[in-house]
């Protein structure tokens, strides 16, 4: 009985110390890019919140995004820049980090905020899609809960600096 208790205790400790993010599988491979960098600043109620971003502004970079990554710094994100306004939704294929996404229009207004969960099977899905009702030009992915933690909602003004 004492040995079983010790084994169960060790299993519980390992479960608590293990990250909730699924490990990257050997099948999770994507091309790597040298992304441009910039800053996205949210201003709401006189307070600024900055996010250091990698900029995905080509079709190939946008397609890969944050796929296969297992971590994202607390104040970091990926900014998806589209040549024209769009309504295309996002999904979480091969994405291993729970994310929040802000859709931003040409005028620097947030037109949609969503939390996106990691799929039970990140490689094969199923994959819900996330997108606003209104058109957007930019999408910013950050760690899930970032916007709520910083009190950012659709009233925030957004500035993007390359």
Report pLDDT digits (tens) over 132-149: 999 999 999 999 999 999
Q: b/e for 38-66, b at 16 or more Cβ within 10 A?
A: eebebebeeeebebebbbbeeeebbebbb
* pLDDT value, residue 31: 84
Cα separation, 94 vs 36, in Å, equals 22
Mean pLDDT check: name the lowest of 9-18, 76-85, 99-108. Answer: 9-18
Per the CB < 8 A criterion, the answer to whether 102 and 148 are in contact is no
With vertex at residue 129, the alpha carbon angle to CA 30 and CA 68, rounded to the nearest 5 degrees, is 20
Report pLDDT digits (tens) over 34-71: 999 999 999 999 999 999 999 999 999 999 999 999 99
Over pLDDT 90: what percentage of the chain? 78
Domains of the chain: 2-161 (2.60.120.1140)
Cα separation, 161 vs 38, in Å, equals 6
If you ran DSSP here, which 8-state letter would residue 70 be given? -
Task: Give the position of tokens 């946008």.
Answer: 62
Is the pTM here over 0.75, yes or no?
Answer: yes
Per the CB < 8 A criterion, the answer to whether 25 and 94 are in contact is no
Per the CB < 8 A criterion, the answer to whether 65 and 95 are in contact is yes
Per the CB < 8 A criterion, the answer to whether 132 and 103 are in contact is yes
Cα dihedral 120, 122, 127, 129 in deg (nearest 10): 120
């Amino acid at each position: 009985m004492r040995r079983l208790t010790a084994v169960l205790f060790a299993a519980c400790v390992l479960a608590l110390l293990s990250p909730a993010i699924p490990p990257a599988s050997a099948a999770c491979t994507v091309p790597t890019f040298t992304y441009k960098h910039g800053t996205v600043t949210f201003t709401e109620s006189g307070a600024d919140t900055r996010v250091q971003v990698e900029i995905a502004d080509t079709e190939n970079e946008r397609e890969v995004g944050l796929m296969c990554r297992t971590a994202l710094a607390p104040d970091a994100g990926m900014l998806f820049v589209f040549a024209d306004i769009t309504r295309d939704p996002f999904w979480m294929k091969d994405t291993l980090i729970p994310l929040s996404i802000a859709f931003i229009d040409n005028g620097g207004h947030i037109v949609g905020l969503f939390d996106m969960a990691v799929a039970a099977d990140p490689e094969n899905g199923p994959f819900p899609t996330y997108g606003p009702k209104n058109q957007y030009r930019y999408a910013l992915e950050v760690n899930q809960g970032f916007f709520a933690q910083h009190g950012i909602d659709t009233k925030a003004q957004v500035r993007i600096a390359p």
